Chain A
Amino acid sequence: MATTYSYYPGCTSHSTAIEYIEASLAVIDALGIGLNELPDWCCCGAASAHNLSTSLALGLSAFNLAEAHKTGRDLVIPCAGCYGNLAQADHVMRHDEKERQRFEKQFDFNYDGQVKMLSLVDLLAREELRPAIKDLVKKPLKGLKVVCYYGCAIVRPGAITGVDDTENPRRIDKMMADLGAEVIDWSCKVDCCGADLGLTDAEKTAELVNKIVDYAVAAEADCLVTSCALCEANIDIRQQRLPILYFTEMMAEAFQIGDRQRWWKKHFNDPSKLF
């Protein structure tokens, strides 16, 4: 029987990452996985809350953790930044009894450690899903050369994300290979794109983005595949050499499902010529 998960959309689900969310929901539905949006949720604080106040950042994430615990189901968090913040708060609750008790009282819930925080890669790259994913492939992505770009938040720190190889993660690579794409090894899988610096220091962000794209072009990639909305925005807006797609858009293309042409129009470097 298919499992149902709780789902935290995050603020970018209706703005900068709209095509990511629509593609992801289509893929999850095709796999027969159930998702229930949390009855209430707030912004995780992104990079801003912890930059100004650790206690504000923890409070906002704890609000969402409490909502998830009330549902009793593991929480799926597509946005890499939101995932990082909620996983960090979950780590604090797991290891700091005083903080845990404070938040249990404030948000009226019982933290039993049973509700897991899952990134979309955690959910979709599971070994047991591989046969189902391969079965759904209608149009293998043959001949398409891709580099997989993981960025920071779903990878580091390993003690919190559970990723065992933080220098060379392979889960998205494996998924893309299962779709029939030619996956190229490269050097910038986990390099930083500049994150929120995209709004404060255009020059530095362009420098970081261009280094990543230089390496992808040198590896002869046709496109760059990611799971992070902030990475996508930074890299897509600041260069004109390479299309960047979400890994679930690639899955939707291979499955031939969803409103793909409309999603491609949301990108700055047109990916339509790839398919």
Chain B
Amino acid sequence: MSENLLQKVMAESDQPINLCYQCKKCSVGCPMIDEFDFPPNMVMRMIQLGMKDELLKSKAIWMCVSCETCGSRCPNEIRIAPIMDSLRAQCLNEGVTPADPVTVALHSSFINSIKTFGRIHEATMLMAYKWKSKNFTSDLDVGLKLFLKGKIPLLPKKSKNMAKIKEIFKEAGK
């Protein structure tokens, strides 16, 4: 139980979570709801009630793909996507084991590529992701198919001002 969770997530996401009155419109339209352990409307209520441990350990926070369907339909104009961002960051910052480590492995590999080149280099990013997720077989064909279509360049392209890029990462603590 955490009394400050509601205030913290509201401040970080800039969303009026306290206005949620459980109409469930978010959950009805959510394309990912079958993968969520707690539907979006319940996530809102859990934040109001300060159920921090359950939320940070949940699969729901990692399964949200930020499609913004819920946010654009909410009668109280609450966008859930930035709320999920706040919960995910808290999960990582507080050393909670993420319920979906594969998603975290993908995003970590992705931002490491930006940290190195300022841009994405798909070939090395995909290899780093496969290594991190220890998932060498599933879906390897997507990368291979794209490569065969000439859509995965071998050489990376770099941003010019890499010093500034490094500074952005340092300030974000990444």
Contacts and interface: CB of A to CB of B under 8 A. Distances in A.
Given A14-B153, A107-B164, A266-B150, A195 B111 contact: no
Contacts of A53: 89, 172-174
B152 A15 contact: yes
B107 A48 contact: yes
Contacts of A191: 31
Contacts of A70: none
B149 A266 contact: yes
Q: Which of B35, B86, B174: most chain A Cβ within 10 A? A: B174
A192 B106 contact: no
Interface residues of A, number: 55
B114 A152 contact: no
A200 B168 CA distance: 27
Nearest to B122: A15
B52 interface: no
Given A15-B152, A266-B151, A47 B71 contact: no
A233 interface: yes
Interface in B123-152: 126, 129, 138-139, 142, 145-146, 149-152
Interface stretch (A36-44, A115-123, A171-179, A218-226): A36-44
A16 B139 CA distance: 16
B106 to A, nearest CB: 5
Interface string A36-63: 0001111101111111111111011001
B21 interface: no
A195 B142 contact: no
B60 to A, nearest CB: 14
Contacts of B169: 56, 59
Contacts of B119: 11, 42-43
B37 interface: no
A27 B79 CA distance: 35
Contacts of B108: 48, 52
Given A18-B151, A107-B164, A233 B174 contact: no
B76 interface: no
A51 B67 contact: no
A199 B129 contact: yes
A166 interface: yes
A204 interface: yes
A200 B104 CA distance: 10
Contact of A197 (B65, B113, B118): B65
A233 B146 contact: yes
A156 B68 contact: yes
Contacts of A140: none
B94 interface: no
Contacts of B113: 43
B72 A157 contact: yes
B114 A60 contact: yes
A258 to B, nearest CB: 17
B38 to A, nearest CB: 17
A248 to B, nearest CB: 17
Contacts of B167: 106
B61 to A, nearest CB: 10
B106 A40 contact: no
A131 to B, nearest CB: 32
Interface string A53-87: 11111011001000000000000000000000000
11 contacts: A15-B152, A42-B159, A42-B165, A49-B107, A51-B107, A52-B111, A56-B169, A60-B165, A157-B71, A157-B72, A199-B129
Given A14-B157, A48-B107, A195-B67, 19 more contacts: A11-B120, A16-B151, A42-B159, A43-B113, A43-B119, A48-B108, A53-B172, A55-B172, A63-B168, A106-B167, A156-B71, A157-B68, A157-B72, A196-B65, A197-B65, A199-B142, A204-B35, A208-B31, A266-B150
Interface of B: 12, 14, 31-32, 35, 65-69, 71-72, 77, 79, 82, 85-86, 88-89, 92, 100, 102-104, 106-108, 110-111, 113-114, 118-120, 122, 126, 129, 138-139, 142, 145-146, 149-153, 157, 159-161, 164-165, 167-169, 171-174
